[in-house]
Structure 1
Amino acid sequence: MIQLRSTTKVALIGTGFVGSSYAFSLLNQGVVNELVLIDVNKEKAQGEASDLNHGLPFSSAMKIWAGTYQDCHDADIVVITAGANQAPGETRLDLIDKNIKIFKSIVGEVMASGFDGIFLVATNPVDILSYATWKFSGLPSERVIGSGTILDTARFRYLLGQYFSIDPRNVHAYIIGEHGDTELPVWSHTSIGSRPIQKCIKNKPEMPQELDRLFINVRDAAYQIINRKGATYYGIAMGLVRLTKAILGDENSVLTVSTLLNGYYGLQDIYIGVPAIINRNGIREIVELELAEDEAAKLQHSANVLKQAMQPYF
């Protein structure tokens, strides 16, 4: 068990769009006491640290600086957002070769510092890179967490809330599987304002087709945003802060993250997005939903696609 300390410290590796948005969200929400920014472009990290520090008079007390991998040694969480970004026309799986090499170097440097905390991985393809981080680090799998489908689930709940005119915080729904083209909605466990969605669409024959279109918009949201503004970063940054709060606050919250499955959902030796209980020790427990037959088949397909993609590397 990780020992609680009075100081909470996050080491952020990568100060690009996602990393800097995450750092800004941490500052705004007052989640940690210390934040160290690490980037291969040291001047970029220094610039981001200075900019964030200039906001401290408007925020809670926090120590922010640009540092090195050695600063990871006493971090509670190391968050990795570094790596090659998804370009227009690319899928997340197209990034494997470039980012596996980057991650082997990053994780090796972090572990050489004496780090013994929790990894949060956001770089794509997040499921495969979370698996790589687990393998390269040698840490227990419960302490290597990928952002998984936390953002997809948030998009899903937002669009369902819009469709049914319900606050998305009162929509309970999950996207599981690969954070990518083979992800799937779990309609069998979707409720709108505490009512099962099957009751909401009863006697409304047009709704199933409309909800299918809604899911397609969830699945393809990143492509749409990338085509319009070049990258996605605000949503995933907020998702990473939510995970950080769940860990440091020992919340035992259920969030859809990428985690190692060995037996759950009939899958073996794979990181993939599923609901899990998150607390101060990382993954406390995987939540195994009772899936409909077609949902189980789609999850198996999603896992097979990931397995095939990672086969040349592991």
Structure 2
Amino acid sequence: MSRSKISVIGAGNVGATLAQFLAIRELGDVYLFDVVQGVPEGKALDIQEGAPHWGYDSNVVGFTTPGQEAYKNLEGSDVVVVTAGLARKPGMSRDDLLGKNVEIMLDVGRNIKKYAPDAVIVVVSNPADIMAYAIQKITGARPERIMGLGGSLDSARFRTFIAKELNVSVEDVNAFVIGGHGDDMVPFIRYSSVAGIPITSLLSKEKIDAIVKRTRFGGGEIVDLLKTGSAYYAPGVSILAMVESIVQDKKRVIPCAAYLSGKHAEHYGASGIFIGVPIKIGKEGVEEIYDIDFTQEERELWNKTVQSVKNNCQKVDSFLSGKL
């Protein structure tokens, strides 16, 4: 049985960390791409040389992408993960990156369309829900074959902060975050529990509000601490969970940016955009979207994040106008 082929476009901190995680988990052979001469080859070789101690047999190879010849190595990819883009710097929001990263998506998306049109695409570049929208426009791929990072990472942060506050194992914390992968994301308190016990029975409103705030600005907190970049370990393993569910057809239910249309668009009041909702992830990509009910307060928060995503999608449309 042949191994899966997983291509990671962008060999920065997130992409390289993910490549290592993929190899360690032996999910397939990993192809790493980047525009900086020698970086993908060097990092791939470094990861490969750790195989004897880790005990994996996955192949990890790198390709520098100035010009288009290197992108030919995307051919046959089962999954393409897009991490390429500028990293956040102190004082920058995810939305500040939008214009520059859409330009990068234009090049990346054209090559995915040319060489790996049948791959499931996982978009990580910030802001991930907006970049997923851009990639779909550029590639013309079926929307259910595309998903964006967001809720997978945000929910991991939310669960971590709850576990730390209560001094319990994160394994027993069940919580998730929906909406845009930005500062107006919606941590779902009603659906959050510890071994089935609602967190509202375990924590005061003030404590919960503080955890929600920290979750919303969790990425910025790390940017401020690092000074020279953004998070990559937690994003790496959050992407790993998504890719693993695709490659192994695990059918995991993870909040991710998915395309809303039809009955789901009607339920969520959002049509034609990618936004974080609970989805089932399998070999076909987004295999099911789950509709969840809102209280009035939750609906107001949801409407705010929807409007923010819609506004940014309009900016993408303007940028791409005449370029496709």
Match of 2:31 in 1: 36
4+ residue segments displaced more than 6 Å: none
* TM-score, normalising length: structure 2: 0.91
TM superposition shift of 1:8: 0.5
Please state whether the residue corresponding to 1:277 is helix, strand or coil: strand
> Partner residue of 2:66?
none
Alignment partner, residue 52 of structure 2: 57
Distance 2:117 2:61 in 1: 18
What is the deviation of 1:42?
A: 3.2
8 Å contact from structure 2 (residues 180, 275) kept in 1:
yes
Once the two structures are TM-superposed, the CA of residue 184 in structure 1 deviates from its matched residue by 1.3
| Residue 287 (structure 1) aligns with | 290
Which of the numbers 167, 170, 173 marks the counterpart of 1:171?
A: 173
- Unmatched runs of 5 consecutive residues or more in structure 2: 64-69, 318-324
Residues in 1 aligned to 2:34 and 2:87: alpha-carbon distance in whole angstroms: 15
What is the correspondence of 1:275-314 to structure 2 with a 5 Å cutoff? 275-314=278-317
Q: How does 1:232-251 map to 2 (within 5 A)?
A: 232-251=231-250
- The residue that corresponds to 2:110 in the other structure is 108
Please tell me whether residue 213 in structure 1 is matched to residue 216 in structure 2.
no
Alpha carbon RMSD of aligned pairs, Å? 1.3
Alignment of 1:177-196 (within 5 A): 177-196=179-198
- Which residue of structure 2 aligns with residue 118 of structure 1? 120
- Looking at structure 1, the residues matched to 315 and 132 of structure 2 have their Cα atoms a distance apart, in angstroms, of 16
1:266 partner amino acid: G
Offset from partner CA, 1:48-105 (integer Å, 9 cap, x none): 1111111121221111112321111101000110111111100000011101011011
Within 2, Cα distance between the matches of 1:42 and 1:111? 23
Structure 1 segment 92-107 matched on structure 2, within 5 A: 92-107=94-109
How many pairs were matched up?
304
Superposition TM-score, scaled by structure 1 size = 0.93
The 8 Å contact of residues 246 and 279 in structure 1, kept in 2 or not, is answered as yes
- Which amino acid in structure 2 is aligned with residue 19 of structure 1? G
Contact 1:166 1:193 in 2 (8 A): no
**Per-residue CA distance 1:10-29 (angstroms, 9 max, x = gap):** 01100001101111111222
**Cα deviation 1:230-281 (Å, max 9, x = unaligned):** 3211000001111111111111110010011121412111111111011111
Per-residue deviation, 1:313:
2.5
Give the AA of the match of 2:10.
G
Change (3 A) 1:195 1:312: same
Q: Which runs of 5+ in 1 are unaligned?
A: 202-206
The CA distance in 2 between the partners of 1:218 and 1:177, in whole Å, is 13
> Do 2:23 and 2:59's aligned partners in 1 also have CA atoms closer than 8 Å?
no
Give the corresponding residue for 2:67. Answer: none
CA displacement, residues 262-306 of structure 1 (integer Å, 9 cap, x when unaligned): 214121111111110111111110111112221111111101011
Take 1:170 and 1:288, find their aligned partners in 2: how far apart are those partners?
24
Matched residue, 1:204: none
> In 2, Cα distance between the equivalents of 1:155 and 1:187?
14
Match of 1:82 in 2: 84
Query: Identity of paired residues, percent?
Result: 28
CA distance, structure 2, for counterparts of residue 312 and residue 289 of structure 1: 29
Q: Counterparts of 1:277 and 1:145 in 2: how far apart (Å)?
A: 11
Task: Please say which of residues 165-174 and 11-20 is displaced more in the overlay.
Answer: 165-174
Distance in 2 (alpha carbons) for counterparts of 1:283 and 1:64? 27
- Asked if the contact 2:133–2:313 (Cα under 8 Å) also holds between the matched residues in 1, the reply is no
- Matched residue SS, 2:137: helix
State how far apart, in whole Å, the 2-side matches of 1:268 and 1:281 are.
21
Q: Quick one: which amino acid aligns to residue 14 of structure 1? A: G
Q: Tell me how far apart the structure 1 counterparts of residues 191 and 116 of structure 2 sit (CA, whole Å).
A: 42
